[in-house]
Chain A
Amino acid sequence: MAIQVSGITKQFGSFRALDSVDLEVRSGELLALLGPSGSGKTTLLRIMAGLEFADSGSLQLHGEEALGLSPRERQVGFVFQHYALFRHMTVFDNVAFGLKVRPRGQRFTTAEIRRRVMELLELVQLAHFADRYPAQLSGGQRQRVALARALAIEPKVLLLDEPFGALDAKVRKELRRWLRKLHEDIHITSVFVTHDQEEALELADRVVVMSQGRIEQVGSPAEVYDRPASAFVYEFLGQVNRFDCVVADGVAKAANGAICIPADGTVRGPAIAYVRPHDLGLSPSAGGPGRVSGIHVVGPDARVEIDLAGLPLEAEMDRERLSVLGLRPGDQCAVHIDRARVFPQP
């Protein structure tokens, strides 16, 4: 176990940022902390780095209690959202910083520092920018310098705070792939914070979904997407139709009986049902209960808005499928639900 978080609590004034959080980070994995702003994910990451103090709980880094250690003693690499490069230093000096500030006895020779820094700059493909200043680099390049700088101290774990948050969409995607590949090459235990579910699902080995200072679910990207543990996770991950229903005898009914879906045996009475747009099947039927109220085509996909006995729903399919069905706005149709989840009313 690389990082063991138990019962970490953090309060900012009257705001509870973290509420007794337990989490295990496995050696060598790439873990995503995913949640909306204010969910406590960045606070948790900063506590791991020692940049924020926990009110209570315990944090073990590789089996060693770390809450009492200062950031410099923890040997973690930290990558900031806005890079936090030293603006008055060249790229080379930025990456060399962690090696140059070591106490005299543990410091490498100048030649060795130079060799290591250049090796890291090769790794992040910026060797020919060694003499530039951060202001002369693009956002993506700066973040790669920040990564090289964090790796220079040979950290036991790498912590990344919204590492792609300040980049534009295209660069973000490139850098994401690049980071995934880098992680496959060097296999350093890494935790990154993001509010972008697509980023978390694509990049991480495991995803931790957080909300209001608590962990809602921990699991592989497929697990959290296919089997959300709570209503929050269902709503936060991907598009979803959410509607009120009433459960009786293991069947949830909604839209005046137009929808009947099997429900978990533990739920009874008023409840909330979740259906992903791509789990909603449509077929043209003149006497069907649904009516197509709108169609939006986005790239290769089509989103079909349906009015089912007064209940607005959204279905998603590819454009080919839509043209096979031949649905047009105003058409009546039958609606069948392939997969749904029912949660009790909160």
Chain B
Amino acid sequence: MHAKKAAGFAPALADSRWVKGLLIASALAFLLLFLVLPLVSVFVEALRRGTDAYWAALVEPDAVAAIKLTLIVAAIAVPMNLVFGVAASWCIAKFDFRGKDLLITLIDLPFSVSPVISGLIYVLLFGLHGLMGPFLKSQGIQIIFAVPGLVLATVFVTFPFVARELIPLMQEQGNEEEEAALVLGASGWQTFWRVTLPNIKWGLLYGVLLCNARAMGEFGAVSVVSGHIRGETNTMPLHVEILYNEYNLVAAFAVASVLAMLALVTLVVKTVLEWRFGAELAATRH
């Protein structure tokens, strides 16, 4: 009986090399077709008329303004989400309170809502005909079709990245190290800086990186609140779209290539971090 079974397995084992090869080949082909090829084509299109045209498209005032705006929005949104994310995951992982499940669901909300709707929420709230529109107008504050709106929409869309990364990590680590620090005489701040933060630093960096990539690349929500004013409220993704719609393909792809490079850098840093993070996690796990 056993011998028969083993005999039945043998051809499958012999085939495995063949199957393995096929699987790897199809996975590679898929990656090549859907990921590598489009990425390469971005750079090819961008450089179609040579490096001079490429540079010209990047240093053109509207493009510079778009790059600047993208950096500004990310520079405000990412630190905000860093603080919110750490605070939210701290409170979810280390404390028990009523409505905790609701809070976790709320944190996930931006992931489940279409970005267009996220943008629309702010238009409905702060727009001229929105809930708070007349009040804001009387105070001379403009949120929609201005930088504050872009920041708000970006913060909303990228909120879950840091929290999602930290909650499971902090839950797994538990409270005991913090309790030990408190009993040993550390203050709340000392406990946070010396015990909690070092324990979550790799996870935090990873979350911030993903958050940043999304903040710079966000299109839908930002598109709704931006108003597409050239040189003023256009971020890089919006600028790419405008150029593309004007059949200015070289310029569109040139700006797109900068975004693509950002994605590549993020990917490399993320891989390095994962490697580092994984090693450290394995070494420090009890």
Contacts and interface: CB of A to CB of B under 8 A. Distances in A.
A70 B283 CA distance: 33
A134 B162 CA distance: 28
Nearest to B198: A88
A164 interface: no
Interface residues of B, number: 20
Interface stretch (B28-36, B178-186, B253-261, B269-277): B178-186
B286 interface: yes
A82 B175 CA distance: 11
Interface string A64-101: 00000011101111101011111110000000011001
Contact of B186 (A49, A72, A82, A152): A72
Contact of A84 (B176, B187, B194, B284): B176
A115 interface: no
Interface in B93-130: none
B190 interface: yes
Interface in B64-105: none
Nearest to A77: B183
A146 B184 CA distance: 11
B185 A76 contact: no
A135 interface: yes
A135 B183 contact: no
B187 to A, nearest CB: 7
A277 interface: no
A72 B185 CA distance: 4
B199 interface: yes
Given A80-B176, A82-B176, A88 B284 contact: yes
Contacts of B180: 78, 80, 84-86, 146, 149
B284 A78 contact: no
User: In the complex, which range does the number of interface residues on chain A fall in?
Assistant: 20 to 34
A51 B184 contact: no
B98 to A, nearest CB: 12
A250 to B, nearest CB: 53
Contact of A135 (B181, B194, B283): B283
Contacts of A135: 283-286
B207 to A, nearest CB: 18
A97 B199 contact: no
B195 interface: yes
B183 A71 contact: yes
Interface string B244-274: 0000000000000000000000000000000
A101 B286 contact: no
Contact of B187 (A72, A74, A134): A72
Contacts of B285: 87, 135
Contacts of B283: 133, 135
Contacts of A98: 184-186
A72 B182 contact: yes
A50 interface: yes
Contact of B185 (A80, A82, A101): A101
A72 B183 contact: yes
Given A82-B286, A88-B284, A76 B183 contact: yes
Contacts of B182: 50-51, 70-72
Contact of B184 (A70, A82, A101): A101
21 contacts: A51-B179, A51-B182, A71-B179, A72-B185, A77-B183, A78-B183, A86-B180, A86-B195, A87-B177, A97-B181, A101-B186, A101-B194, A133-B283, A133-B284, A134-B286, A135-B285, A135-B286, A146-B180, A149-B180, A150-B184, A152-B184
Given A49-B183, A149-B180, 10 more contacts: A72-B187, A74-B183, A75-B185, A78-B179, A80-B179, A86-B194, A101-B184, A101-B194, A133-B283, A135-B286
Interchain residue pairs A-B with the least CB separation, the first 8 = A84-B176, A98-B184, A87-B284, A101-B186, A84-B180, A78-B183, A72-B185, A88-B198
